[in-house]
């Protein structure tokens, strides 16, 4: 990363404290940009009991693999936005 571009993005005017504050803000912005892309969700490594049950219920109703997957995603706990 080009340090001069970073300084400009942070609004650095030569004061060390301002650079640190601006740098922290820039890092947070970059982290948000790399977070979860639109249309994607994070799921637990292992499905919860609620997710497993939602998948079973969907399959019992002769759902497709896609509808079963969607039911399991919807059954997960809400994200901490």
Number of helices (H) and strands (E) in the chain: give both, helices first: 4, 0
The domains of the chain are located at 3-33, 42-81
- Residue 55, classified by CB atoms within 10 Å of its CB into exposed (0-12), middle (13-18) or buried (19+), is buried
Query: What pLDDT is stored for residue 81 in this prediction?
Result: 52
Mean pLDDT (whole number) for 4-25? 68
* Per-residue pLDDT at 57 exceeds 80: yes
| pLDDT confidence of residue 78 | 67
pLDDT surpassing 70 at residue 14: no
Residue 17 has a pLDDT of 65
State percent of the chain over pLDDT 70. 64
48 φψ region: left (φ > 0), alpha (ψ -120 to 50), beta (else): beta
Taking 70 as the threshold, does the pLDDT of residue 12 lie above it? Answer: no
- Give every CB contact of residue 11 below 8 A, 6+ residues apart in sequence: 18, 22
């Amino acid at each position: 990363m080009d340090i001069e571009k970073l300084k400009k993005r942070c609004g650095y005017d030569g004061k060390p404290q301002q650079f640190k504050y601006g740098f922290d803000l820039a890092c947070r912005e970059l982290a948000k940009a790399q977070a979860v892309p639109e249309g994607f969700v994070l799921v637990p490594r292992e499905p919860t009991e609620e997710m497993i049950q939602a998948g079973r219920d969907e399959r019992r109703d002769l759902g497709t693999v896609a509808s079963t997957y969607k039911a399991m995603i919807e059954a997960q706990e809400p994200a901490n936005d």
